[in-house]
Structure 1
Protein backbone atom coordinates (compact mmCIF):
# COMPACT_ATOMS: atom_id res chain seq x y z
CA UNK A 1 0.00 0.00 0.00
CA UNK A 2 2.72 2.52 0.94
CA UNK A 3 4.78 1.68 -2.15
CA UNK A 4 1.78 2.25 -4.42
CA UNK A 5 1.03 5.60 -2.81
CA UNK A 6 4.65 6.74 -3.11
CA UNK A 7 5.13 5.68 -6.74
CA UNK A 8 4.05 9.15 -7.88
CA UNK A 9 7.01 10.68 -6.01
CA UNK A 10 9.77 8.45 -7.41
CA UNK A 11 10.66 4.84 -8.12
CA UNK A 12 9.20 2.75 -5.27
CA UNK A 13 10.61 -0.69 -4.55
CA UNK A 14 9.62 -3.25 -1.90
CA UNK A 15 12.48 -5.12 -0.25
CA UNK A 16 12.08 -8.25 1.87
CA UNK A 17 14.65 -9.44 4.37
CA UNK A 18 14.70 -12.13 7.03
CA UNK A 19 15.82 -11.61 10.61
CA UNK A 20 15.56 -14.13 13.42
CA UNK A 21 13.20 -16.28 11.37
CA UNK A 22 10.77 -13.47 10.58
CA UNK A 23 10.14 -11.61 7.33
CA UNK A 24 10.61 -7.84 7.36
CA UNK A 25 9.57 -5.53 4.54
CA UNK A 26 10.83 -2.09 3.65
CA UNK A 27 9.92 0.36 0.93
CA UNK A 28 12.75 2.09 -0.89
CA UNK A 29 11.97 5.28 -2.79
CA UNK A 30 14.48 6.45 -5.39
CA UNK A 31 14.41 9.94 -6.95
CA UNK A 32 13.33 10.16 -10.57
CA UNK A 33 13.64 13.90 -11.10
CA UNK A 34 10.05 14.79 -10.16
CA UNK A 35 10.69 16.05 -6.64
CA UNK A 36 13.32 16.94 -4.11
CA UNK A 37 14.52 14.61 -1.37
CA UNK A 38 12.62 16.75 1.16
CA UNK A 39 9.39 16.32 -0.82
CA UNK A 40 9.96 12.57 -1.05
CA UNK A 41 10.55 12.33 2.70
CA UNK A 42 7.47 14.40 3.53
CA UNK A 43 5.41 12.22 1.18
CA UNK A 44 6.65 9.07 2.92
CA UNK A 45 5.75 10.48 6.33
CA UNK A 46 2.27 11.49 5.21
CA UNK A 47 1.57 8.19 3.40
CA UNK A 48 2.08 5.81 6.29
CA UNK A 49 5.85 5.65 6.80
CA UNK A 50 6.46 7.74 9.94
CA UNK A 51 9.93 6.20 10.43
CA UNK A 52 11.14 7.13 6.93
CA UNK A 53 14.65 8.54 6.65
CA UNK A 54 17.11 9.50 3.93
CA UNK A 55 20.05 7.21 3.22
CA UNK A 56 22.78 8.48 0.92
CA UNK A 57 25.48 6.38 -0.75
Structure 2
Protein backbone atom coordinates (compact mmCIF):
# COMPACT_ATOMS: atom_id res chain seq x y z
CA UNK A 1 0.00 0.00 0.00
CA UNK A 2 2.85 2.39 0.77
CA UNK A 3 4.32 2.04 -2.71
CA UNK A 4 0.92 2.68 -4.34
CA UNK A 5 0.48 5.78 -2.18
CA UNK A 6 3.92 7.01 -3.19
CA UNK A 7 3.19 6.52 -6.90
CA UNK A 8 -0.24 8.17 -6.55
CA UNK A 9 1.34 11.18 -4.84
CA UNK A 10 3.87 11.52 -7.67
CA UNK A 11 1.08 11.45 -10.27
CA UNK A 12 -1.27 13.84 -8.46
CA UNK A 13 -0.03 16.89 -10.45
CA UNK A 14 -1.54 15.29 -13.56
CA UNK A 15 -5.07 14.90 -12.17
CA UNK A 16 -7.21 12.92 -9.76
CA UNK A 17 -5.67 9.69 -8.51
CA UNK A 18 -7.34 6.59 -7.12
CA UNK A 19 -5.85 3.47 -5.54
CA UNK A 20 -7.61 0.14 -6.01
CA UNK A 21 -6.77 -2.98 -3.99
CA UNK A 22 -7.38 -6.50 -5.24
CA UNK A 23 -6.69 -9.76 -3.41
CA UNK A 24 -5.41 -12.74 -5.38
CA UNK A 25 -4.14 -15.99 -3.88
CA UNK A 26 -3.85 -14.37 -0.46
CA UNK A 27 -1.79 -11.43 -1.72
CA UNK A 28 -2.84 -7.80 -2.02
CA UNK A 29 -2.26 -6.10 -5.38
CA UNK A 30 -2.64 -2.38 -5.91
CA UNK A 31 -3.49 -0.33 -9.00
CA UNK A 32 -3.11 3.43 -9.22
CA UNK A 33 -5.56 5.09 -11.58
CA UNK A 34 -5.03 8.63 -12.87
CA UNK A 35 -7.83 10.72 -14.34
CA UNK A 36 -5.99 13.51 -16.21
CA UNK A 37 -7.08 17.12 -15.87
CA UNK A 38 -5.10 18.51 -18.79
CA UNK A 39 -1.84 19.18 -16.92
CA UNK A 40 0.48 17.23 -19.18
CA UNK A 41 0.04 14.83 -22.04
CA UNK A 42 -0.67 11.11 -21.80
CA UNK A 43 3.01 10.56 -22.57
CA UNK A 44 3.96 12.83 -19.65
CA UNK A 45 1.75 10.83 -17.28
CA UNK A 46 3.25 7.53 -18.46
CA UNK A 47 6.82 8.79 -18.18
CA UNK A 48 6.13 10.03 -14.65
CA UNK A 49 4.55 6.70 -13.69
CA UNK A 50 7.46 4.72 -15.11
CA UNK A 51 10.05 6.91 -13.39
CA UNK A 52 8.27 6.72 -10.02
CA UNK A 53 8.14 2.96 -9.68
CA UNK A 54 5.29 1.83 -11.94
CA UNK A 55 7.15 0.12 -14.83
CA UNK A 56 3.98 -1.68 -15.95
CA UNK A 57 1.93 1.52 -16.33
CA UNK A 58 -0.31 1.64 -19.38
CA UNK A 59 -3.09 3.77 -20.81
CA UNK A 60 -6.70 2.64 -20.80
CA UNK A 61 -9.09 4.91 -22.63
CA UNK A 62 -12.72 5.02 -21.67
**Could you tell which deviates more after superposition, 17-26 or 31-40?**
17-26
Among 19, 24, 48, the residue aligned to 1:19 = 24
Q: Structure 1: any 5+ residue segments left out of the alignment?
A: none
Given the alignment of the two structures, is residue 10 of structure 1 paired with residue 12 of structure 2, yes or no? no
For residues 42-57 of structure 1, what are the structure 2 equivalents within 5 Å?
A: 42-57=47-62
For 2:32 and 2:16, locate their aligned partners in 1 and report how far apart those are by CA, in whole Å: 10
Unaligned runs of 5+ in 2: 1-5
Quote the Cα distance in structure 1 between the aligned partners of 2:27 and 2:47: 29
TM-score normalised to the size of structure 2? 0.80
1:33 aligns with 2:15: no
Per residue, is there more helix in 1 or in 2?
A: 2
